[in-house]
Every structure is written in C-alpha cells, then in structure tokens.
Chain A
C-alpha cells in the first residue's frame, strides 16, 4: 500500500437503510496491479464498484481514483476509466459499432485501429444489433468498449460471463498486457481460476467487510497440496504427521498420502530418508483457499 496508489478507499461504507452493504472498506491498489476482488453473492463487490464510479454515494468514507475524489472529480476520473458493469445492459437498438461510436463520442474520439484489433482478438461481432446478440457476444462488445480508449484504470465487474474458454484466454491476455503497460485493473469475479491466472493480489469481501488482502504468492504459500508417495517398505503415519506444514496424513502399507501447506522441504527430506520410490502432487488448490475464507467467515 502506498500513498500514490491508483485506487484508494478509506473507511468506505454504504448502507441501504438497515442493510450494511459495505462496511469500513480500506483498499489501496497500485498502478500496474491486477487486483482480484472476490466474495460470495451479495457480499458488496458491485456496491463497492458503483461507489467508486459515483453511481451511488457512500454513507461514510471516501474513494479516490488517480488521486481524484470519486464524487467531486467524477467526470475527470471517468476520462481514465474503462468499465464493464456486472449486470450488463447495452442499448439493444444499436449495433456494436454504433454503440462503440456513441461511447467514443462521449469520450471525445476513439482509435478505430485499436477497436478493430480488440474486436478481432475477442471475435466480437460489431455489425449486428446488440439486442440480436447472445450473452457472450454482448459481453465481447462491452469488453471492446472498456479497453478501446487504453484507460489507465479498468474496473471490471464479472467481465467474463458467457465467454467461451478461448475468448476467456484472449481476454486474460489483454488484461495482462494492459497491466504491463501500467494500467490498474480492478477485477471482480467469481471465476476463481481467472483471478488466479491474472491477479497479482486479491481481496476477499464478505457481508460488506474486507476479510483478507493478500498477494497471490502469499495465498499460494498457504495453499494445501495433496502429495501421494510410494515407498519400498511400509512406513508409519506418525512420522508424517510430525512434519511442519502437514495438515493431514494417512498411510496404507507402503503408500502415504499427506496434505501439506506451504514449503514441502521437510516433507521431501523425510520421504527421501524413508526410501521414496514414487511421488505425485496435485496443484496447490487456490480455489479451496478462497472457499475456506468464504466459509470461515460465514461460520463466524
């Protein structure tokens, strides 16, 4: 967190009557960072985003983007923002091209070479009326309009809904390129694998409260891997259970299966000393971590 962060919220709070949609949210996201914003349905993700964009006003606290106040300097902020709303609705009577021209005119022009390039990469249909497009194809039009002005801040609320896996891949590449060029990406998503692939840091929000902000590396360190080992002789369960980071161990004769969190160095040492002949490990399961955070907090 630094004072020159691109997106900063301080004590951001939004109540709807008695319902506390967002409570005391403190965030700081730096330039060039892809920030994954996660949380269950109704946790306050979209409310946070809509407050940052001045579509709704905070009950307390502030949000600033590029050092500008989200309410006072809303119009100036929007010069620099590309946005994909969570509940996407486009003007159905316009073609994709007309829609993009319209938004481009509101922004004072557009680089059509870039639009065409984006449309090509995402396989977006721009010559049909938006109302005639499928959900996925509408989403592509929304993505083109969000990225077309090379914005320095991208606010993406569930941006990959309806996209096929190939287009998802392209979209993730576009996000990474934007970040490499210095853009800040605020990515709210339920597609955990997507967040895992593109985000450098994630925040998890639940019932309006931010419960954790971690870098992806730190989360991966916490991730639990399941390791299965085959030995040349029977081994004891207690030896594995005693290793630092091992959460769970079970032994069946010459085969041991352990769940380990963080570094595997000690486990490998032990396995080697016991005469391991074969070893397999699954990928660290970030999804499980995310879900644990969801559940842990739910239980509180």
Chain B
C-alpha cells in the first residue's frame, strides 16, 4: 500500500527544512545557555519566589528550574520554540500532501497512475510521521549539542523525552492541516485554519491553568500535552503522547474519508473567501472581510491581496487584546504577588513591566508576542510575496513589461506593507483600549498607540528584510524562511542578551530592542526607537531595490 516513490519524494523535498529548523534550535540553545550561565544565582532566587501560575504559563515549574539556567533555557526551547518550529514544518507538509498538490495542479497527474487516493495520502502521511521522528531526534541531538557547545551538559534534563512530546504534538497539527486540505482541497484554508488552531491552542494551554476551576479545559488543546507532564523532568508520559497520536490517527482517518468523497481540483483552488462568496447568504460577509480587489496601482493591489489574511490576524489580535483586559481582573489576586517576585534581569524577557499592573500584564500577554508576532507573520508573508512570489507565480514578467521601474515596484510593495501594518496597529490599539475600558484598567491611550505603532514599525523591518531576501533569491519560500529565521533570531538574541549586563549592548543589534526597551505602554513612544526601526526598514528596502535592479527576473 505504501508507495515508495511518493514517500521518498516527500522526504527528499522536506528533510532540509527539518534539519535547518532543528539546527536553529540547537544554535539558540547554545546562545541561551551561554548567556544564562552567569545568571544561575538570579535564576535560583527567581525560583524561590516565582509564582507557580506564571511558571505554568511558561511551561516551567520551580521543580524543573531547580537545575538552574540551563534548565530554564531548555524548558523555553522544548516548551515553546521547538514545538513552534516543528509544528510549522508539520503544517506545511500536511497542507502540501493533498491540497498543495492540487494547487500546483500535480495531483491529477499523480493520480493518473494506477494508485488510489488513499495509497497516496497514506504514503505522504508516512513521510510526515518519518519527518517528525527525524525532527524529534535532530531536536534532541541539536539541543544537547547546543548545550554542550556552550560548555554545559544538559545534565539530568531529559531532552529526548521532551522531544518525543514535541514531535507528537507537531504531528497532530500536521494531521489537522492534512485533514482540512483533504476535505477542502484548499491549501490556504488548511494552513490558515491550522495556524489559527496552533495559536489558540498555545494560548488556551497556557491561560486556562491560570483560571481557577477551568484548568482542565486546557486538556482539549494539543499544546497542553507538550509540557503538562513535564517530560523534561519526569521523562515521557506515554499517556499524553498516546492522546496526541490518537488525535493524529483520527484526523488522518478523517482525511482518508475526505479525499475519497470529493472532486479533485486542478490548479489554484478558490480561496476560502471565494467559496464563501459563492454562497449568496455569505457573499456579503466575505465581501466585507476581503473587500474588492483594488487595482488603482501596485500598492493598492498588493494591499488588497493581503487583506483577507490581515483581517483574520487583526481579528485574533483584537479578541486577544480584549479578553486579556477582562482576564486581568479575574487574575488580579494572583498577579498581585508577582510585583516583587520577579528579578529585574528576567523581566527583560517579557518586557520591563510589572505584571501586577495593567500595563505589565498587557506587555506580557499581548505586546510581547501576539501583537508583534501577528504583525510580523503578515509582514513576512507580504514581503515574501512581493518580489519572490511574483517571480514564483511568473507574473513578474507581465508586470515589468509595463512602464514601471523596479525601484518603484519595490517602493509600492513597501508602502502596501506599511499600510497593512498600520491597520493591524490600529486594531491592536482598539482591542487593547476596548479591553482596558471593559476591565476598567484606565490605560493611557497615547501609550497604547505608541506600543502599537512601535510594533508596526518592528514588523515592517522584518517584512523589508524578507523582501530583500526575495529580491536576492527570486523565490518566495527561501525569502519567507529567511525572514522568519531573522525575526526569531532577533527575538531570541534580544531576550537573552539583555539579561546579561556584560553583553547587553549587543542587544542593540536586534530590532526587538527598539520595540521593547522603552516600555512604550508605561513610558510612551520613543521617537528615537521608531526612527531607528524606520531607518532600518528604509535601508533594507533601498537594498532590495538595488539588488532587484541588478538581477535577472526569474521565469
């Protein structure tokens, strides 16, 4: 039943992504451990005083942290970054299994061979499983190597056990995207919905344990099973792993049913919005979400093309910002204890806020991850499509046959990105203000606007870097990977470097430094920081124009 050629082709196409992803984790572990080594004392102090609730959100318990700095870094990697990286790869593979091949128009040819849809799906599923096993093993090896390179052993931490949990969780997200792709044939929907589920799962698994009486709700989220059993401390919890594998199996079974009961597409599927539009009842709603295509100029077209995704991200951002405001009151008793408990050094990781204040709480919950993260995802997506994507789609030839210079094209794409980030900034602002009003938190509108604007400026920098990578390679995928890698490295570098006074100055190389270091929610806008970010974006866009001007357009 297993089709060897289909299985090996998927492995061949994807193993490099897995290797690069896990290698990055190893590098980050090395960097993190090297920075934190000097902070064992601080960590020890932290562990004595840290409230359990917050640690649970970070996926780390005092018990686990007893190992000191190394353990802390390992916990952050295995509970947060590694699952994010591996799940991202799994979603990409899961989507490409059926829906991705339909988008490319290659599935018809594949199935013109005397092989069933089920056989093709199962063969690709087998390669997804293999890739996740490989990812888990590499993550284990890279993490151990990273720690060793930084001069410490991971000690008694059971990185291998944590890797099993991470790989199993990533597999479940891959199976979800496969299932959605198999039922709809729509790659955009498969990736979009699963990524949404990933974010919701992360937030749900982290937040519900904080709410008294609702802790068990967290169990419905796959993310919960990554760290809930503390595999880093206690080894593999086969019960939890079995739950993740069972979920993956059920989703795969549903995928088999889905792919066998519908017509296959050839070429690009209509987007989710297109499908909604065809339903008379929902047509108006979808029109509202995506709007009409704008064709006045390239900036307008680029902006309108990204509107669908931007609206969805804005929606998630708005709701999160709103709910976090309401949660503050529910959790204020617990949060009250935080103020004195967290050492200065560590607070740097989450922004220099006091989480017992509304500003500190928002900084931790909304402005340290969801808002910049959401914006950066959209900016990277737009940056990748801008120059690389138009060449991938072969639309660049016809576009550039018009009387428009390449630098102008870069400028218009840049303007569209800035516009999109401004819209997301306004949404983050509106959600936070709404949350503040409903929760009676009395946050300063000017400061919230400042944080939103600085986040938008930050995202534009990464979007511009992605565009530059797209201009250099003529491809969208390496561009998006480069953009994501730069953003992740900048985030980690800023977080880790700021903690150690000896290397804190190096954090200035990270754009995140200019987003976080003035603590905009408390102190208002730093025009100097905005200036640095804007200048960086302009320099990157100018470089992009220069590089693109010199290159042959890829066909």
Contact = CB atoms under 8 A, between A and B. Distances in A.
A55 B400 contact: yes
A46 B555 contact: yes
A280 interface: no
A106 B297 contact: yes
Interface string B107-146: 0000000000000000000000000000000000000000
B268 interface: yes
Contacts, number: 87
Contacts of B555: 46, 50, 55, 85, 87
Contact of A53 (B298, B393, B400): B400
A107 B271 contact: no
Contacts of B403: 75-76, 78-79, 106-107
B268 A91 contact: no
Nearest to B298: A106
A212 interface: no
Contact of A93 (B298, B305, B400): B305
A91 B552 CA distance: 21
A122 interface: no
Given A90-B395, A93-B293, A93-B305, A85 B402 contact: no
Given A93-B305, A107-B403, A131-B270, A83 B398 contact: yes
Interface string B332-355: 000000000000000000000000
A92 interface: yes
A100 B361 CA distance: 50
Given A78-B403, A83-B401, A56 B394 contact: no
Nearest to A78: B403
Interface in B353-409: 393-405
B552 A56 contact: yes
Contacts of B404: 75, 78, 106
A255 interface: no
Interface in B269-303: 270-271, 274, 293, 295-298, 301
A144 interface: no
A142 B399 CA distance: 12
B553 interface: yes
Contacts of A102: 295, 301
B293 A57 contact: no
B401 A78 contact: yes
Contact of B295 (A50, A74, A79, A101): A101
A59 to B, nearest CB: 10
Contacts of B393: 89
Nearest to A155: B401
Interface in A71-89: 74-76, 78-79, 81, 83, 85, 87-89
B67 interface: no
A243 interface: no
Interface string A169-185: 00000000000000000
Given A76-B403, A85-B401, 7 more contacts: A55-B400, A85-B555, A93-B293, A99-B295, A101-B295, A106-B399, A129-B274
18 contacts: A46-B555, A56-B553, A78-B400, A85-B397, A88-B394, A89-B393, A89-B395, A89-B398, A90-B395, A95-B293, A98-B293, A101-B295, A102-B295, A106-B297, A131-B267, A131-B268, A132-B270, A145-B398
In the complex, the 9 A-B pairs of residues with the closest C-beta atoms, listed nearest first: A89-B394, A102-B295, A56-B552, A83-B401, A106-B402, A55-B553, A78-B403, A85-B397, A79-B403
Interface of A: 46, 50, 53-57, 74-76, 78-79, 81, 83, 85, 87-95, 98-99, 101-103, 105-107, 129, 131-132, 142, 145, 155
